[in-house]
Chain A
Amino acid sequence: GDSVTQMEGPVTLSEEAFLTINCTYTATGYPSLFWYVQYPGEGLQLLLKATKADDKGSNKGFEATYRKETTSFHLEKGSVQVSDSAVYFCALRDALNFGKGTSLLVTP
């Protein structure tokens, strides 16, 4: 069946550091891929998505590219801010499958 694997957290970075959060998936066909973000005590919000191979989703300085050959959808940001501290979830298809989440803490 479908599944998503995310890198374990927590990830701690200094402000302005480069961020990568790895996400790989197992699925048949060409599923849509999503990144969601959850701030403390809140629900999830869509951060970005990609619906076909080689698509790049981007939003608020975050990017992720749909790599069919490596079944990956890694999240990246060139310069993180304290306000990016949150939990990030990778999701597959119509989001019936979520990764376990990666907690990010950005320190000043």
Chain B
Amino acid sequence: DGGITQSPKYLFRKEGQNVTLSCEQNLNHDAMYWYRQDPGQGLRLIYYSQIVNDFQKGDIAEGYSVSREKKESFPLTVTSAQKNPTAFYLCASGKGGRGMEQFFGPGTRLTVL
């Protein structure tokens, strides 16, 4: 089955540690995205990538980093520089281009203790 997967579903880390969230898709999509979701804030774009080896900052990129070495994978690292990292993180992919929707993964809930 084609789809987009995120792992793990729940993640706990101590303050000051970097943590990497996985996102994989087998839909052959060129574009991939990372969002952060907080209660009452909707979705906020962290980073996106429209092609392998290229990515752009979104609205709230500070304290985060990404890589896009393979078409299928777009991991997100939450660094210790992120002031308030506890949130629900959503990855998405899409064909890109006009009128094309996104396909979302199930999300990872990160809790920093």
Contacts and interface: CB of A to CB of B under 8 A. Distances in A.
Interface string A60-76: 00000000000000000
Contacts, number: 55
A64 to B, nearest CB: 14
Contact of A51 (B94, B98, B105): B98
Nearest to B40: A100
A96 B107 contact: no
A23 B54 CA distance: 32
Interface residues of B, number: 26
Contacts of A25: none
B106 A42 contact: yes
Contacts of A99: 42
Interface in A1-39: 32, 34, 36
A96 B42 contact: no
Interface residues of A, number: 19
Contact of B90 (A43, A46, A100, A101): A43
Contacts of A44: 43, 90, 92, 102, 104
Contact of A49 (B43, B90, B92, B101): B101
Interface of A: 32, 34, 36, 41-46, 49, 51, 89, 94-96, 98-101
Given A44-B92, A89-B42, A95-B92, 11 more contacts: A32-B99, A34-B101, A36-B104, A43-B90, A44-B43, A44-B102, A44-B104, A49-B101, A95-B33, A98-B35, A101-B42
10 contacts: A32-B99, A51-B99, A89-B42, A94-B98, A94-B102, A95-B33, A96-B33, A96-B58, A98-B35, A99-B42
